């Protein structure tokens, strides 16, 4: 299954699910990454990690490791 990490720059996707087993999944949900929401990879850091995702009208910087629990 694809995750938010697999997005290309500028690519949009709808969140399908959030992987419960990841230690950051709770925080990821609380911050607003819930199934049905549209995300977009808006930018990447200089070293490609963390990445910046747009969600619910704002931009969240998140490490690739943690973004991998967002299924698209």
Instruction: Tell which one of 57, 68, 69, 72 touches another protein (CB under 8 A).
Output: 57
Q: How far apart are CA 61 and CA 30, in angstroms?
A: 15
Instruction: Tell which one of 5, 7, 13, 18 touches another protein (CB under 8 A).
Output: 18
Instruction: Tell which one of 2, 6, 11, 35 touches another protein (CB under 8 A).
Output: 35
Pairing of strands 17-18, 38-44: unpaired
What DSSP element (H or E) covers 65?
helix 64-67
Footprint on this chain of another protein (rule: CB under 8 A) = 18, 20, 23-32, 34-35, 37-38, 42-50, 52, 54-63, 66
């Amino acid at each position: 299954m694809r995750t938010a990490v697999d997005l290309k720059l500028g690519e949009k996707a709808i969140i399908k699910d959030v992987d419960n087993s990841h230690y950051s999944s709770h925080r990821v949900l609380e911050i607003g990454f819930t199934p049905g929401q549209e995300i977009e990879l808006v930018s990447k850091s200089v070293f490609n990690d963390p990445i910046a995702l747009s969600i619910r009208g704002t931009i969240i910087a998140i490490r690739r490791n943690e973004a991998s629990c967002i299924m698209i």
